[in-house]
A and B are shown apart, each in its own frame.
Chain A
């Protein structure tokens, strides 16, 4: 489902050699329907690894397979279609400022050309799930950080992705909202979605004892 084989990542614009290698020789495999925490200190390479998974970066070396597809062998069109099967919760949310909450959540479904009837049903349902049905017409700048994060999460899961990648999804949520979010993510996981969640929240990791990938200085130091 997700397979990394000796993957290295180097950022081109980095000048200092020490920062050049963001990831070094990463190898792991996550089975279909699996769940992995991704942990490590700041700068360990968690976001870089997630970017490789959701095809926002190309590796300098190594082989990556996502949802049964070799990432390096995809055309631009195939890569775009593959991204539609991956739900991403960005650390900085990346909500579109000109769209309200409803339209932000509906975006992946509209890009996939789903019918408006289906969009309305699914978006309304997921907004209810994240507790923001009453805020569906608010624009991002009218929402709090926690609300924006919940909209970002709703957008990531609304199209029922085969793979869910989340970068610090509970960072701006209180304990109750974080718990509610984890219920949603584990429910999706039980329905067959493969999940990778990067987090600093050790309590959350202890509360949901799924296997863990640990990163330090761009190297994988823990898998299991």
Chain B
């Protein structure tokens, strides 16, 4: 009974409504969870794509059936031997005529062979070594003059730039969401202070410390922000799972168990959102109330 009597001396529970504030903080948490998911997903995708793209090798061998420089066989065979001899190249694959036709079909039609063009042979592979491919390029040029070797480094750089900008956008969204949440708490707290103005002036006159008054508002704001944020975060989980399901083909994950295939970092960070919201609620209420109390002597 006494604990209940001590409970809400100022009437903060009625003044700081349990309707609008949790809903707005919940909405902010929902957006924050999506932004967090976006940031981490783009990082994961980028790491995957950058690895594949940067290490991809494409070698064009013009006049593949012509004799190689050492007159030991065809140029294509010489290039294949050179690639096989390199420790830094893996997954060497010579594209078939049909595959090459499919590649050039958008420009030359579906049956390029009938045009009598001398098409180069295309070899794909993965670069597994450190550093650049200059030495390999020189070797290939030596056995097959005119051979071209291209890596995916340029595309990897572009993917990295895209990822960085996506992550910056996501972090900006997180920052804005945090600021909006703080603003929502500040407005609700100021509204509560206005409603309880006479009560606060009275307890201030009776010797209440600023810290005591601020603590009562902060406790209420913390609870409301926590409750709203838990709701918003829980609602965001199925949406994140659905997005993970959509992204599964790009990440190489299974479309089943998509919720559990969310990035581990996301699964670790999302539960922290309610804690962060509660902290924002507590700090904002403390600052708002202490600032408001400064007007009293």
Contact = CB atoms under 8 A, between A and B. Distances in A.
B9 A80 contact: no
Nearest to A108: B206
A97 B8 CA distance: 12
Interface in B171-225: 198-199, 201-210, 212
Contacts of B20: none
B206 A98 contact: no
Interface stretch (A51-59, A142-150, A195-203): A51-59
Given A79-B297, A98-B11, A107 B209 contact: no
Contacts of A112: 207
Contacts of A116: 2, 5-6
Contact of B198 (A54, A94, A102, A103): A94
Interface residues of A, number: 33
Contacts of B207: 80-86, 108, 111-112
Contact of A77 (B198, B201, B204, B209): B209
Interface string B2-16: 100110111100100
B9 A99 contact: yes
A84 B206 contact: yes
Q: Which of A58, A80, A94, A120 has the most CB of B within 10 A?
A: A80
B202 A94 contact: yes
Nearest to A120: B2
A57 B199 CA distance: 17
Interface in A30-76: 54-58, 76
Contacts of B14: 98
Contact of A57 (B206, B210, B297): B297
A40 B78 CA distance: 117
A88 interface: yes
Closest 5 interchain pairs by CB? A84-B207, A83-B207, A98-B11, A116-B2, A94-B202
10 contacts: A81-B207, A82-B207, A83-B207, A94-B205, A96-B202, A98-B11, A99-B9, A103-B5, A111-B207, A116-B2
Given A79-B297, A90-B202, A94-B201, 5 more contacts: A57-B297, A80-B210, A83-B207, A96-B199, A96-B202
